[in-house]
Structure 1
């Protein structure tokens, strides 16, 4: 209880120039998660002296050598249903420890463009998560991003393209924006990792309409693969279990080829 109070107190005294997002929303999500006692362990990490919450779930039948960092969609949280919750809990049953982290947030009605100036903050959180997993025995770390989380993952890996084992981008859009963090089309060719580009048949327009363009951008990467999930929409509520199976099966294949 004392530790939780001290962490929350740090949020309240942080100067606005350090914290760019909506810390009150993060606190509310953190309080809800702690109240609901989710599967896994609540951990507090730090990036640029800013604390953020993560949900760490150990692999059930192996050590934590293989791990994934799970990034939620815009405005959501690290136990988002059904997809993020499923990824972080089911993959732990298939020899992958998981760390789902809270990404920086904007106010409730904020749109995609409002999040672009948070991408560097998200990158810092991803880097802090890698350090945490390495300190807990991880040697092979993959990054799984969903929606805006996939954009943040692509941005991060474009600046350090060989850092991890693989990238799984779920519902990755190609935004029509001129701001540097939104140039996903320039990031994809820079990522030399195994790259799974997975999207839904009835996904958002800037995901579905740019699927061919993403394939062309990834064509020089011999371990780029695009998968279309038929009958699904952006929320993947129809069969999230099949999506999760595609993800861990592909990651297992990449691990065995590494």
Structure 2
């Protein structure tokens, strides 16, 4: 081996070692964040809130569950936060998570998995959603709505497009809030869904508005009569506000008119 070849080999090994260390460090930080979130959630649990652990071993993750507080239960909402957010992220959906139980909806909030920093692994993410929906089934909930924010909106649509069976469509709905614009297949995923869909947009960035136009066009091409797109001005954080603001009222209103609970035959979620 020449001196130059030896130097190249050593350099490559060093780069691989740095890459492996960076990945291990990122995974370690993600695990630490998970444990910190769990400890914080347990410390803050109140008003009937339950911290639930889903999955097993290294794949275990936490969810925050609230039971509905009325005499007329409607169903359950699975909340998928944006990438890097925890299940009680204090922006945009935090109020919906805690308010919807007052109008008949159980809520279960989970975070997207972190795999190597901020990258998301498809199979891990879809299985996490399946486990959360299974938990809601086990709690007796079969009228289910996935409420996704940002990247969570994309994964909610993808899960329903890839894993929802035709005979389950009557029991599912999808609410997307400011769906991420970097996912080019989202319009096609929406076009494949024969369920009630709310596409709520408050981002006035030109790219976000163009992506919203594409989603609406896909719904029209596929004649999705139960697709609704709402464009509202952006809302500031309303963490711990006592009364529901416009966004929360819009989400609740759509649930009331499009997904009100009713009896019917259902199938449970299979991972």
When normalised by structure 1's length, the TM-score is: 0.78
Is 50-59 or 248-257 further displaced after alignment? Answer: 248-257
Q: Indicate the structure whose relative CO is greater, using CA pairs within 8 Å and at least 6 residues apart.
A: 2
Q: Decide whether aligned partners of structure 1 residues 106 and 83 sit closer, same or farther in structure 2, where only a CA change above 3 A counts.
A: farther
Runs of 4+, deviation exceeding 3 Å: 62-65, 161-164, 235-240
Q: Distance in 2 between matches of 1:82 and 1:254?
A: 25
Gaps of 5+ in 2: 1-23, 263-271
Q: Distance in 1 between matches of 2:196 and 2:177?
A: 14
Between the two proteins, the alignment pairs up a number of residues equal to: 227
2:59 to 50, 59, 64: 50
Q: Decide whether aligned partners of structure 1 residues 209 and 257 sit closer, same or farther in structure 2, where only a CA change above 3 A counts.
A: same
Q: Distance in 2 between matches of 1:64 and 1:45?
A: 24
2:45 to 32, 37, 41: 37
Q: Decide whether aligned partners of structure 1 residues 119 and 209 sit closer, same or farther in structure 2, where only a CA change above 3 A counts.
A: same
1:142 to 116, 141, 145: 145
Contact 2:143-2:261 at 8 Å conserved across structures: no
| 2:205 counterpart of 1:197 | no
Q: Decide whether aligned partners of structure 1 residues 129 and 236 sit closer, same or farther in structure 2, where only a CA change above 3 A counts.
A: same
Match of 2:12 in 1: none
1:191-218 alpha-carbon deviations (Å, 9 max, x no partner): 111000001043x554223121111011
Q: Distance in 2 between matches of 1:70 and 1:21?
A: 24
Gaps of 5+ in 1: 1-15, 177-181
Match of 2:216 in 1: 215
1:220-250 alpha-carbon deviations (Å, 9 max, x no partner): 21100000012x15x6559972111111111
Matching of residues 13-24 of structure 1 within 5 Å: 22-24=30-32
Which structure has the bigger radius of gyration? 2
| 2:76 counterpart of 1:67 | yes
Structure 2 SS opposite 1:209: helix
Q: Distance in 1 between matches of 2:36 and 2:61?
A: 12
Q: CA RMSD in A?
A: 2.9
User: Greater strand share, 1 or 2?
Assistant: 1
Contact 1:45-1:53 at 8 Å conserved across structures: yes
Structure 1 SS opposite 2:232: strand
Matching of residues 130-169 of structure 1 within 5 Å: 130-161=133-164, 162=166, 163=168, 164-169=171-176
Q: Decide whether aligned partners of structure 1 residues 236 and 172 sit closer, same or farther in structure 2, where only a CA change above 3 A counts.
A: farther
Is 73-82 or 153-162 further displaced after alignment? Answer: 153-162
Q: Decide whether aligned partners of structure 1 residues 241 and 47 sit closer, same or farther in structure 2, where only a CA change above 3 A counts.
A: farther
Contact 2:74-2:260 at 8 Å conserved across structures: no
When normalised by structure 2's length, the TM-score is: 0.74
